[in-house]
Amino acid sequence: MKDRILKKYEGNPVVTPQHMPETVLYVFNPGAVKHNGEYILMMDTTTLDDIHRLWIARSKDGYNFVPEDKPVNWPAPDPSHPETCIYDPRITKIGDEYIILYASDLSQNDVRIGIVKTKDFKSFERVAIASELGNRNGALFPEKVDGLYVRLDRPFGNELNPCYMWISYSPDLVFWGKSKPLTYKGKPFHDGYKLGAGAVPIKTDRGWLEIYHTVSQTCNGFIYRLKACLLDLEDPSKVIGYTRDFILWPEHEYEMRGRVMNVVFTCNAILEEDGNVKIYYGAADTNIGLAEGKIDDIINACR
């Protein structure tokens, strides 16, 4: 236990379907930010019609969350793209706006990256459907690089060429391009069977810290676990180090049993002023857990 970089909160899970004001089947994979001194989780919920909707919970201390009465009042979709399921929101603060990149699903596996923004987590404005078919895990950097917005994304692969993290650039959040895979020592960065962005990157003196998920294949299904890597500050397409060991993995009942077994999955990590990081994560696509650690320890583990 002592050598763990991240410590799971002893009161985990912090949100379960039983906490919700209406019957939901699952609550998981929250976007997480601090806004006006409050912790906000924007959570995937699966309602009884089996549709994924986003739902907000708020907390004063980061541990005790109260869900709102109803799901988020999501802006109506463009009629040409009548998204049905929305999930995995990753929230990035730029200026006084929060930009949310999420998976916009028309039907199973008909998924693109959508972008919506808000200033207050009460009203939301649509920005764009911002990818081709078959892309998700979009995570927007909190600053432009060389005058362009930057995001991590994860185009779909196939059995022979499983998915991994790419990077794309945009002048306006609507048009995206210059896409290429992240590289490590000049080669596409692969780790595990497949991998994708987890948390929105955090800027540090030693590089952009990216906490990502990596997926292992077993004879009995996938296991989703977390690792971390550092990206070059000037050219974030370059991985300059990564943790060879997992930093978070499913081990408890609430992480191993649920809609999808053996999953820990994150969309945002919150860096506190004292250097502590709070990682909110979906557990078995059913509950929400919290793990905490020191940012320096995570960075030091990236080699």
Closest distance of CB 57 from ligand BMA, Å: 18
Closest distance of CB 120 from ligand BMA, Å: 26
Q: Which is nearer to ligand BMA, 233 or 260 (CB)?
A: 260
Half-sphere exposure of 111 (CA within 13 A, CB side): 19
Q: Helix, strand or coil for residue 110?
A: coil
Closest distance of CB 87 from ligand BMA, Å: 5
Choose among 183, 258, 221: nearest CA to 15: 258
Q: Which is nearer to ligand BMA, 71 or 207 (CB)?
A: 71
Q: Which is nearer to ligand BMA, 118 or 286 (CB)?
A: 286
Q: Which is nearer to ligand BMA, 63 or 156 (CB)?
A: 156
Residues listed for the chain: 303
152 token code pair: 């991590």
Task: Output the residue with the shortest Cβ distance to ligand BMA.
Answer: 260
Q: Which is nearer to ligand BMA, 98 or 265 (CB)?
A: 265
- Could you tell me which residues are beta bridge partners of residue 24? 47
Closest distance of CB 215 from ligand BMA, Å: 8
DSSP state of 130: -
Q: Helix, strand or coil for residue 174?
A: coil
Rounded CA separation 198/281 (Å)? 9
Number of neighbouring beta carbons within 10 Å of residue 286: 22
Q: Which is nearer to ligand BMA, 25 or 260 (CB)?
A: 260
Closest distance of CB 285 from ligand BMA, Å: 5
Residues interacting with ligand BMA, by CB under 6 A?
A: 29, 87-88, 224, 260, 263, 265, 282, 285
- Could you tell me which residues are beta bridge partners of residue 148? 145
Closest distance of CB 222 from ligand BMA, Å: 7
Choose among 132, 12, 27: nearest CA to 72: 27
Choose among 101, 133, 110: nearest CA to 31: 101
10 token code pair: 């002893």
Rounded CA separation 10/230 (Å)? 29
Q: Which is nearer to ligand BMA, 24 or 295 (CB)?
A: 24
**Cα Rg for the chain, rounded, in angstroms?**
18
Rounded CA separation 7/63 (Å)? 14
150 token code pair: 């930057």
Closest distance of CB 163 from ligand BMA, Å: 9
Q: Which is nearer to ligand BMA, 88 or 210 (CB)?
A: 88
Closest distance of CB 111 from ligand BMA, Å: 9
